[in-house]
């Protein structure tokens, strides 16, 4: 208790600095998961993708990030075992932020698309198991989180497979794909607007003091979905069925229609990414702020301050703008060849999975989810459409991330403990 009172300002400063560093790493590395398919399918340029992501990553982090943040903050380490030594929880959360941020920096320099969720969860488990005791880690909660890492790519892959199969059935494999694209794409646009709005309205707005009833949320989400579809129809009206020479795909004009749709799916994926992955940065910050401001009391629940959400959202945006282009420019082309129609199915499936998981409080891996979605799209075209070597290397990077985060966290934990003790 005395240590926290004596060093409260320094601990809060370090929490903000390390939390911002972690959020920067999320923006720099994980943004490829949100926007890589848009860039890879050439529906958006890198600059356009960055501008879209800056707005919607911030909104997702601020409006819908609180549920997952609560899971990261309280669900992995049992605070009841630290009632007499709350400073150990503070050191551990600081060490976890610094460890995960350092690993993301290393991965970003190397161009490796790693999981930020793996990074922070591995770091939390590392300091909890070694710095406190094996019993301090809530293995039951951890197992449910680990299960979500398996369930989320499978769920996203199934959704993506079904979505792209529907695109093939209703549009691509028809006698007049262009006319059918203009007929059916507005329904997909409505689904994008409705899905993201519904999760935000039912789970996110309570964090900014605007709770709505179920029927109010349903009605407003329906209106937003219709508005998105209306905007999309207006944009598509400018696209004409131009003659295509024999050297080009007969779906060129169809893909131009789907490129309009991908503007909306890119927005939804950026929102989904921000809502889920901001927790990786500000969950530990929220825990530190709660302990320090209460003078060392480990409350079962605590209100997540709005400025903490702003800190994480701002860090993600700056990381994205300054370093995100490195991984974004390549990931969209490495797993399978993407076109706007394929990219739409992948992004829509991944966004649906992530925003639903965020609403349920499950800190799933956006990397796993998007890779699963892209694999689902590739499988809809046959196993030969996949770059299995790249898939294997991505899986290896996921495996390395967990022990790397844990090892760095243990080192930083004992360093911080020595400095402040």
- Residue 228 maps to a domain: no
Question: Which residues fall within 8 angstroms of residue 215, CB to CB, at 6 or more apart?
Answer: none
The domain containing residue 414 runs over which residues? 2-175+274-420
DSSP label at residue 171: I
Judge whether 185 and 258 are in contact, CB under 8 Å.
yes
- Distance, CA of 282 to CA of 68 (rounded, Å): 10
Q: In the structure encoding, which two tokens stand for residue 146, read together?
A: 């680990």
Which pLDDT score is estimated for 205?
Answer: 55
pLDDT the model gives residue 85: 79
> Is the CB of residue 218 less than 8 Å from the CB of residue 294?
no
Residue 219 lies in a domain: no
Instruction: Of 342, 258, 85, 231, give the one whose Cα is nearest residue 77.
Output: 85
**Number of helices followed by number of strands (H, E) in the chain:** 16, 0
Determine the pLDDT at residue 32.
67
Report the pLDDT value the prediction gives residue 204, as an integer from 0 to 100.
Answer: 52
Q: How many domains does the chain have?
A: 1
Q: Is 119 part of any domain? A: yes
For residue 127, the 8-state DSSP code is: I
Please give the structure tokens belonging to residue 50: 């960055």
CB 276 within 8 A of CB 366: yes
CB 398 within 8 A of CB 392: no
* 16-49 tens-digit pLDDT: 999 999 999 988 887 766 677 788 788 888 788 8
Residue 380 lies in a domain: yes
Beta bridge partners of 77: 137
DSSP 126: H
Q: Give the dihedral sign, CA 166/43/276/51.
A: negative
The predicted pLDDT at position 95 comes to 94
Quick: pLDDT tens for 370-421.
888 888 888 887 776 777 787 787 778 778 888 999 999 999 999 999 988 7
Q: What pLDDT score was predicted for residue 356?
A: 76
- The pLDDT assigned to 363 comes to 63
Q: What's the pLDDT score for residue 276?
A: 67
Note whether residue 191 is domain-resident.
no
User: Is residue 15 helix, strand or coil?
Assistant: helix
**C-alpha span between 380 and 8 (Å, rounded):** 55
The answer to the question of residue 77 being in a domain is: yes
User: Which pLDDT score, from 0 to 100, does residue 98 have?
Assistant: 95
Helices 86-110 & 116-126 angle (0-180, nearest 10): 140
Structure confidence at residue 200 (pLDDT): 65
SS3 for 27-75 is HHHHHHHHHHHHHHCCCCCHHHHHHHHHHHHHHHHHHHCHHHHHHHHHC
Alpha-carbon distance of 117 to 74, in angstroms, equals 15
For residue 278, is it within any domain? yes
Of 13, 3, 10, 132, nearest to 76 by C-alpha is: 132
Residue 292 falls within a domain, yes or no?
Answer: yes
Q: Which two tokens stand for residue 246?
A: 């024999």
The pLDDT profile of the chain, 421 residues, written as one tens digit per residue, is 677 778 888 999 999 999 999 999 988 887 766 677 788 788 888 788 888 888 888 887 777 666 555 555 556 777 677 667 788 888 988 999 999 999 999 888 877 778 887 888 889 889 888 888 888 787 777 777 677 777 888 888 898 899 989 998 999 888 888 889 889 989 988 988 887 777 666 655 555 556 667 778 788 889 988 998 999 888 888 888 777 766 566 788 888 888 888 888 888 778 777 776 777 787 788 778 888 877 766 655 555 677 877 888 888 888 888 887 777 766 666 777 778 888 888 888 887 887 777 667 666 777 788 888 888 888 887 776 777 787 787 778 778 888 999 999 999 999 999 988 7
């Amino acid at each position: 208790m005395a240590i926290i009172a004596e060093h409260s300002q320094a601990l809060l400063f370090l929490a903000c600095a390390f939390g911002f560093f972690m959020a920067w790493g999320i923006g720099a590395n994980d943004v490829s998961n949100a926007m890589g398919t848009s860039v890879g399918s050439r529906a958006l340029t890198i600059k356009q993708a960055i501008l879209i992501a800056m707005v919607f990553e911030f909104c997702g982090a601020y409006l819908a990030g609180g549920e997952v943040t609560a899971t990261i903050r309280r669900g992995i380490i049992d605070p009841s075992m630290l009632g007499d030594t709350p400073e150990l929880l503070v050191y551990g959360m600081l060490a976890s932020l610094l460890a995960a941020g350092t690993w993301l920096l290393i991965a970003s320099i190397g161009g490796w698309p790693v999981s930020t969720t793996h990074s922070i969860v591995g770091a939390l488990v590392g300091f909890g198991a070694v710095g406190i005791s094996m019993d301090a880690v809530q293995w039951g909660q951890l197992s449910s989180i680990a299960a979500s890492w398996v369930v989320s790519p499978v769920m996203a892959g199934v959704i993506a497979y079904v979505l792209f199969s529907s695109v093939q059935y209703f549009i691509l494999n028809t006698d007049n794909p262009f006319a059918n694209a203009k007929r059916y794409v507005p329904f997909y646009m409505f689904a994008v607007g409705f899905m993201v709005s519904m999760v935000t309205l039912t789970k996110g707005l309570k964090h900014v003091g605007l709770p709505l009833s179920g029927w109010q949320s349903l009605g407003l989400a329906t209106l937003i979905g219709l508005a998105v579809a209306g905007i999309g129809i207006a944009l598509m009206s400018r696209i004409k069925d131009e003659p295509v020479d024999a050297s080009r795909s007969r779906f060129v004009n169809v893909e131009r229609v789907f490129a309009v749709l991908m503007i909306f799916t890119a927005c939804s994926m950026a929102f989904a990414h921000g809502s889920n992955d901001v927790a990786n940065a500000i969950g530990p910050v929220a825990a530190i702020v709660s302990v320090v401001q209460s003078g060392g009391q480990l409350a079962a629940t605590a209100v997540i301050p709005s400025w903490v959400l702003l800190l994480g959202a701002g860090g993600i945006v700056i990381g994205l703008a300054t370093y995100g282009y490195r991984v974004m420019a390549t990931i969209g082309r490495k797993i399978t060849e993407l076109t706007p129609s394929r990219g739409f199915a992948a992004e829509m499936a991944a966004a649906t999975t992530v925003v639903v998981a965020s609403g349920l409080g499950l800190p799933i891996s956006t990397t796993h989810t998007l890779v699963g979605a892209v694999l689902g799209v590739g499988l809809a075209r046959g196993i030969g459409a996949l770059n299995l070597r790249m898939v294997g290397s991505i899986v290896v990077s996921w495996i390395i991330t967990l022990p790397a985060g844990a090892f760095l966290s243990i080192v930083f934990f004992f360093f911080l403990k020595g400095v402040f003790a």
